[in-house]
């Protein structure tokens, strides 16, 4: 398997037609040159997402495209859904993306193009000088922008966005970097720990679009507290005040 797409879903029944309409043409185009699998993880949805996924994608596997639909019986959080998807993924490159298409599915090939041989992770970056935000309410950006600004100070100033889910990882990163969060901190935790281990990160300047169907599942204050706790741990680590062993690879190399 060359490429795996991991797509967490929680109460996203209204976005299943969008994925069928906009995601799968991209998957089929990618599959002309490589073997591709798509892994949906239904994280305890109660609105019919599982049935909609099965109806739309249950029979979509073909010669170069495989579809798997994993299911949590109860909602366990974004981080848990990612771990389930990663455990099922067989690709040498693993892409994660939002089910609501707030980062356009059509940009997956451009994201992949940034995964050059000297890069381990490519992350979407709306806060890059060449990125942008389209129609997203300001209050929805406070956490993301503020958290990313703090991580830039703590980890690497050259990376502008730490909170995007839309990413491409080499398999070795997923295998080497465990993350503990079950919630929305998970993607940030994975990226930061990968960088602290010396894995090389490139940004893909992207436009973050407003959600057009369904509602966000992020709980603002809960996520803020999770980021603050994690930022405190990163600060203590950077100051050498925590007992963890030093990263096995030298810091640096991000770009």
The CATH homologous superfamily to which domain 3-238 belongs is Spore Coat Polysaccharide Biosynthesis Protein SpsA; Chain A (3.90.550.10)
Q: Cα Rg for the chain, rounded, in angstroms? A: 17
| Helix (H) or strand (E) segment spanning residue 38 | strand 36-43
Q: Which candidate, 191, 177, 21, places its Cα nearest to that of 96? A: 191
Q: Which pLDDT belongs to residue 218? A: 56
Q: Which pLDDT belongs to residue 165? A: 97
Rounded-to-integer distance, Cα 138 and Cα 136, Å: 6
Rounded-to-integer distance, Cα 112 and Cα 94, Å: 10
Q: Which pLDDT belongs to residue 195? A: 98
Task: State pLDDT tens for residues 130-167.
Answer: 999 998 888 778 888 999 999 999 999 999 999 999 99
Judge residue 240's burial from the number of C-beta atoms within 10 Å of its C-beta, 0-12 exposed, 13-18 middle, 19 or more buried: exposed
Q: Which pLDDT belongs to residue 212? A: 63
| Helix (H) or strand (E) segment spanning residue 232 | helix 220-238
Rounded-to-integer distance, Cα 138 and Cα 130, Å: 19
- Residues (pLDDT < 50) of the chain are 245-255
Domain boundaries, the chain: 3-238
Task: State pLDDT tens for residues 103-113.
Answer: 999 999 999 99
| Helix (H) or strand (E) segment spanning residue 123 | strand 121-125
Q: Which pLDDT belongs to residue 247? A: 40
């Amino acid at each position: 398997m060359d490429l795996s797409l991991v797509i967490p879903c929680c109460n996203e029944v209204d976005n299943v037609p969008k994925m069928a309409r906009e995601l799968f043409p991209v998957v089929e185009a990618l599959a002309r040159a490589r073997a591709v699998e798509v892994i949906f993880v239904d994280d305890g949805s109660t609105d019919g997402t599982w049935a909609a996924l099965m109806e739309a994608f249950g029979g979509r596997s073909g010669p170069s495209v495989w579809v798997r639909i994993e299911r949590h019986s109860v909602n366990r959080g974004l981080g848990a859904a990612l771990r389930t998807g990663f455990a099922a993924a067989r690709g040498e490159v693993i892409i994660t993306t939002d089910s609501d298409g707030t980062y356009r599915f059509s940009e997956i090939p451009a994201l992949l193009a940034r995964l050059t041989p000297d890069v381990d992770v490519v992350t979407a970056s709306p806060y890059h000088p060449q990125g942008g935000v389209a129609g997203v309410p300001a209050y929805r950006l406070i956490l993301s922008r503020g958290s990313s600004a703090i991580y830039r100070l703590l980890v690497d100033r050259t990376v502008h966005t730490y909170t995007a889910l839309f990413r491409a990882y080499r398999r070795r990163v997923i295998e080497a970097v465990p993350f503990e969060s079950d919630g929305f901190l998970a993607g940030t935790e994975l990226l930061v720990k990968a960088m602290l281990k010396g894995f090389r990160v490139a940004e893909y300047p992207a436009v973050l679009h407003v959600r057009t169907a369904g509602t966000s599942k992020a709980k603002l204050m809960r996520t803020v507290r999770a980021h603050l706790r994690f930022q405190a741990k990163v600060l203590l680590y950077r100051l050498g005040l925590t007992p963890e062993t030093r990263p096995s690879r030298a810091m640096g190399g991000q770009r």
